[in-house]
């Protein structure tokens, strides 16, 4: 058995969820509709018949769920706020729903009583439907950022006396691409998806991306200017992105393709949010070269706002897997959104990137995780918090509860990925300060419905009974051992 690899003694860890995936109670206490309420009820279904009407009923059972957090030894809990539960119509001149405020106050206070640090995500994909109907939602760059700033300010005002850790956006790449390029997520707009009735894949994701970047900037500037001095909290953003290896490691074009794929995945948002080169560039050069005028420009006023908002406290990383990238010849199509590359799970020699999991797109790739952590840290120079990491076990969607809770694959996945963090910290000099496992419990996995199970707690969706899986307490033991190793070595 290999020795336990240490983690910093002050390393923060816990579990994560998102409002629409767990809360339910979609029509209770004044909550307004979100785009996911609408998307999940489309006919024919585009979510395998699933919806978040009840989900895990966390709205009524949060104390029971927080008992699990205590049992699992969690030091922190990352959750998102439902914008339409707080401002049902979403807009800056629309009324606040005090019942929604009260619900989140109860959540925050319950966590604090247990000694668990609340980490709050302002936006985890559930735009108020009223804003989409009113002006196109994220497709209206000017209006959406102003409404998001007002929503953020309400949250800081009402919860910031107790919440010290804020995340502006969760995975803006997914919002932009799956919502407005492929149409697989709400609001389901696409010109390449036969199920979609509206959308333009060649332009809309880039417009939405700018709206999200500017909304993040406004939320950060508002916090830094008007709330940080008194509340003394931290603010950051959670970006997803796979790590890409070249399909042919001897081909420079494939090496370039791997880097370009990561720029289209991560750099699209991280560069304007965190970096401004001496050349005055905003987006990665490869994006501007390929997309031209379809990639929206930033005005001088917008650039000034982005510069003032780049002083965030951490980089939230959502990481699940890695892939191989191979270059393509010819000219990219107007609907290409990944940088004119092909992606694979096996390389030229037929070697798999990692061990298959319980969902087709995810293979366990801890060796690439380490590279990813080092690359992101040394590029963006922000402490990294892994704000999502996890997996479903092979075949878990067809397992009984008794089988599901014996989740050896997930235990090994966590073990290997925590080892990768330790290596990145102590061998690659990356600053990594925390980790949130996805997820506290099985939940609505968006367009994948309820079949895919990422939780460390088994959820019976008929009875809503929660049953801890082996991985939940295994994680507690892993962290305790790693922090003890750190103290013993004086790290």
Known catalytic residues are: 171, 388
The contacts of residue 325 (CB under 8 Å, 6+ apart) are: 244, 245, 246, 247, 254, 257, 258, 260, 261, 341, 342, 343, 344
Q: Check: CB of residue 390 under 8 Å from CB of residue 438.
A: yes
Q: Check: CB of residue 419 under 8 Å from CB of residue 1.
A: no
As a three-state string, the secondary structure of 348-417 is CCCCECCEECCCCCCEECHHHHHHHHHHHHHHHCCCEEEEECCCCCCCHHHCCHHHHCCCHHHHHHHHHH
Integer Cα distance of 167 and 237 in angstroms: 5
Q: How far apart are the first and last CA of the chain?
A: 22
Instruction: Point out which residues pair with 13 in neighbouring strands.
Output: 435
The contacts of residue 27 (CB under 8 Å, 6+ apart) are: none
Structure tokens at 144: 């959406």
Q: What is residue 5's DSSP assignment? A: P
β 355-356/363-364 pair status: antiparallel
Spatial CA neighbour of 479 closest among 108, 2, 1, 10 = 10
Burial 366-393 (b: 16+ CB within 10 A, else e): bbbbbbbbbbbbebbebbbbbbbbbbbb
Structure tokens at 464: 């809503």
Instruction: Point out which residues pair with 167 in neighbouring strands.
Output: 121, 236
The Cα-based distances of 125 to 20, 90, 239 in angstroms read 9, 13, 13
């Amino acid at each position: 058995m290999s020795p336990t690899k240490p983690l910093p003694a002050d390393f923060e860890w816990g579990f994560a969820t998102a409002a629409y995936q767990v809360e339910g109670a979609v029509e209770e206490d004044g909550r307004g509709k979100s785009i996911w309420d609408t998307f999940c009820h489309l006919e024919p279904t585009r979510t395998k018949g699933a919806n978040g009407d009840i989900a895990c009923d966390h709205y009524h059972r949060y104390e029971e769920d927080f008992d699990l957090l205590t049992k699992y030894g969690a030091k922190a809990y990352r959750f998102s706020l439902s914008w339409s539960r707080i401002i049902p119509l979403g807009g800056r001149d629309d009324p606040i729903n005090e019942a929604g405020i009260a619900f989140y106050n109860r959540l925050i206070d319950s966590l604090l009583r247990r000694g668990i640090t609340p980490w709050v995500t302002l936006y985890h994909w559930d735009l108020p439907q009223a804003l989409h109907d009113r002006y196109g939602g994220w497709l209206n760059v000017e209006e959406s950022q102003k409404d998001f700033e007002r929503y953020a300010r309400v949250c800081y005002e009402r919860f910031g006396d107790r919440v010290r850790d804020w995340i502006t956006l969760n995975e803006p790449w997914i919002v932009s691409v799956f919502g407005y390029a492929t149409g697989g997520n709400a609001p389901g707009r696409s010109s390449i998806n036969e199920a979609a009735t509206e959308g333009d894949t060649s332009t809309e994701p880039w417009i939405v991306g700018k709206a999200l970047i500017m909304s993040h900037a406004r939320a950060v500037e508002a916090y830094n200017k008007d709330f940080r001095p008194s509340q003394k909290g931290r603010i950051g953003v959670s970006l997803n992105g796979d790590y890409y290896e070249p399909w042919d490691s001897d081909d420079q074009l494939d090496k370039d393709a791997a880097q370009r794929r990561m720029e289209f995945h991560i750099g699209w948002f991280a560069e304007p949010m965190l970096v401004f080169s001496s050349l005055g560039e905003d987006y990665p050069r490869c994006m501007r070269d390929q997309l031209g005028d379809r990639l929206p420009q930033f005005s001088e006023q917008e650039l000034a706002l982005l510069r003032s908002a780049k002083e965030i406290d951490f980089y939230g990383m959502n990481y699940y897997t890695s892939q191989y990238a191979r270059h393509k010849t010819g000219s990219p199509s107007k609907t290409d959104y990944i940088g004119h590359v092909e992606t694979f799970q096996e390389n030229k020699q037929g070697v798999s990137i990692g061990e298959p999991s319980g969902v087709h797109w995810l293979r366990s790739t801890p060796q690439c995780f380490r590279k990813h952590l080092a690359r992101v840290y040394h590029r963006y120079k922000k402490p990294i918090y892994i704000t999502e990491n996890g997996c479903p076990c092979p075949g878990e969607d067809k397992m009984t509860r008794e089988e599901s809770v014996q989740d050896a694959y997930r235990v090994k996945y966590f073990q290997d990925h925590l080892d990768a963090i330790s290596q990145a910290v102590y061998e690659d000099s990356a600053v990594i300060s925390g980790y949130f496992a996805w997820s506290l419990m099985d939940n609505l996995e968006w367009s994948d419905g309820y079949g895919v199970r990422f939780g460390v707690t088994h959820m019976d969706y008929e009875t809503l009974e929660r049953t801890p899986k082996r991985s939940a307490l295994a994680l507690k033991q892993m962290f305790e051992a790693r922090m003890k190793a750190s103290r013993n070595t004086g790290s």
